[in-house]
Chains A and B, each alone.
Chain A
Amino acid sequence: MKRTDDSSRIAIVGIGSTDYRADYALARAGKPGTDLTGYAVRAFRDALQDSGLVRADIDGLVTATLPYERMGELLGMNPRWSSPGTDPAASFMLAADAIRAGRAECVALIKALDFKSMGTRFGGPQAMGAEQLLHYAYYRPWGFTSQGAFDAVVVQRYMELYGLTHRDMGDVPVAQRAWARLNPRAIMQAPMTIEDYLAHPFIVAPLRLPDYCVIADGAVALIMTTLERARKMARHPLVTIMGMGWGEDNMDVSQLRSKLAFNRMQVSLAARQSYEEAGYGPEDMNGFYFYDNFSGELFYTLENCGYCAEGEGVSFVKSRGIGPGGSFPVNTSGGMMSEAYMQGWNAQVEMVRQLRGQAGTRQIIDCRRVHYVSNTIGKASSIIYARLP
């Protein structure tokens, strides 16, 4: 249902992040600049400063992939309400509902990761996550391991059914690299042409190294409050969450069933709810952001969200252009493939920057509305942001 009353709207009034590029270099050299909670504190400090609020104003706290029980202590805070968080949309929904229910007025959401410095493995004998997602380990007798492989089989199927070529798929990481080169904090900044992309050997065919997200250390923080309070702050152009949506298709996810069906059911469900709540559709968006843990996901995500018809993802991307200078900007910070793998959270900060007009040389002209879509293990989400006058 469309939200028409300002009293239920939520604004983002503070954004912060760590320097992914600097921390990557340090972690790679075996000398990480800080640890998981240290990254979290840095991003939180950055977001506070950006918002103009002080710590005493923050009365709600959501912490994702952080030691929840310790964060209040480490941040020196006694919020009125707090919760562990998960992915961006689920965390946003939780925080927004807490604000609407009057449990908190200003909620800080903090996400941190230390995969790079911890040497986390995503495939092979020590693959992470098997305690929660058994299929991360279950198929090891056949060597079927890594999230990359689980996406490779989906892309392979899409290639045969819809005619996606290796060169078409390369357009995605190549465009995001071009965006990353306009972002001083992006980890991967070396120029990359489509020929450079195609010269990379396969990791798990049809995926090459540039099709994978960049494992990183870092943190992201956002501060949310009511639209009413945000209007009074007037520090930045006003950015609000216009609509959110969620969808799931969990049947046989360990067999990759919904992935092999291109996540159509859950992503379209999530997108539709967010369109209805926002009162916008695909034609209204100035920027598109997707959970780019792997590049091929873009094509069917666009189809599932109604930007184009089923099977037309490739021609849509080709005809519009998704990199700098294109008419359909996608993942303008470089995304998780070139900026940093922050599990969707870095995109949230970039969208707010774009809507505020603070994106520097990669600024989308007259950016008023942007759309974020994520699909992970059978779970899809959609968030629509807008700049309000």
Chain B
Amino acid sequence: MSVVPERPAPIIGLYDAPLWSFAANNELRLQRCNSCKHVRYFPTGYCPVCLSEDHEWALMSGKGRVASWCVFHKQYFPQIPAPYIVVMVELEEGPIVPANIINCQEEELKIGLSVHVVFEDVLWNDGTRGKIFQWRKESDPVSR
């Protein structure tokens, strides 16, 4: 059995739990307003565009393009050794979703690079298990 990496646990506020439950089932679902169809991230109780509270957890295509990135050389969390990359990805559905990118060197990154969501097993630092969503290059042959 491989060792499951540990990560700082996500913040679970009033509206966050479904995001992580869906992630645990390998689905990236975000809130889509039933009134104006705006897709929002991170989770909130109402739509900032039309102020409606009526929404559904819509399945995202999981596809997006790199808008930018940075490389952490300083280690901020005991669970995440540096260096590591964070990429800002603009989803096809609109929201910008930062995450790490797996199996990718910084030199391969550029604005507009196509990426796809993947899910990795993690042990959150509150002792619970779950899955974290990450990015991989669309061209990456690694199986999902």
Binding site for B on A (CB under 8 A): 123-125, 134-135, 137-146, 149, 152-154, 156-157, 160-161, 201-207, 251-252, 254-257, 260
- Interface contact A202-B73, CB-CB below 8 Å: yes
CB distance from A103 to the nearest CB of B (A): 34
A144 to B69, alpha carbons, bound, how many Å? 10
Nearest residue, chain A, Cβ from B87 = A153
- Tell me the residues in window 17-72 of chain B with beta carbons closer than 8 Å to chain A beta carbons: 41-42, 48, 67-72
30 A-B pairs (CB sep. < 8 Å): A124-B76, A125-B8, A125-B77, A134-B13, A138-B11, A139-B98, A140-B11, A141-B8, A141-B10, A141-B124, A142-B99, A142-B100, A142-B134, A143-B8, A143-B76, A143-B80, A145-B77, A149-B86, A153-B69, A153-B98, A156-B69, A156-B70, A157-B68, A204-B72, A254-B42, A255-B41, A255-B98, A256-B96, A260-B68, A260-B96
Residues of B contacting A161 with CB < 8 Å?
Answer: 111
Smallest CB–CB gap between A295 and chain B, Å?
15
Q: Which of B73-95 contact A (CB under 8 A)?
A: 73-74, 76-77, 80, 84, 86, 88, 95
B49's closest neighbor in chain A, by CB?
Answer: A251
User: Known: A138-B11, A138-B42, A141-B7. Is A203-B68 also a contact (CB below 8 A)?
Assistant: no
Q: For residue A260, which residue of chain B has the nearest CB?
A: B67
A124→B125 CA distance, assembly (Å): 14
- Known pairs A141-B10, A205-B70 / 9 extra A-B pairs, C-beta < 8 Å: A124-B77, A141-B132, A144-B99, A146-B76, A149-B86, A152-B70, A203-B74, A252-B95, A256-B96
Q: Out of B13, B96, B111, which one reaches A257, CB within 8 Å?
A: B96
Residues of B within 8 A of A137 (CB): 11
B98's nearest neighbour on chain A, judged by CB, is A144
Complex Cα distance A254/B42, Å? 8
CB neighbours of A257 from chain B (8 A): 96
Q: Cα distance A146–B48 when bound, in Å?
A: 25
Residues on B with beta carbons closer than 8 Å to the beta carbon of A125:
8, 76-77
Among A145, A154, A254, the residue within 8 A (CB) of B68 is A154
Cβ of B83 to closest chain A Cβ, rounded Å: 8
Contact B67 A144 (CB under 8 A): no
Nearest A residue to B77 via CB reads A143
Q: Please name the residue on chain B nearest to A202 by beta carbon.
A: B73
The 4 closest A-B pairs by CB, nearest first: A152-B70, A157-B68, A255-B96, A124-B76
Known: A125-B8, A134-B11, A201-B73. A144 touches B86 (CB 8 A): yes
State the Cβ distance, A97 to closest chain B Cβ, in Å.
29
Cα distance A369–B88 in the bound complex, in angstroms: 39
A255 touches B10 (CB 8 A): no
B70: shortest Cβ distance to chain A, in Å? 4
Q: Given the complex of chains A and B, what is the CA–CA distance between A153 and B111 in angstroms?
A: 11
- B48, B67, B70, B72 interface centre (most CB from chain A within 10 Å): B70
Does the CB pair B42–A142 fall under 8 Å? no
Q: Smallest CB-CB separation from A203: which chain B residue?
A: B74
Are the C-beta atoms of A204 and B73 separated by less than 8 Å? Answer: yes
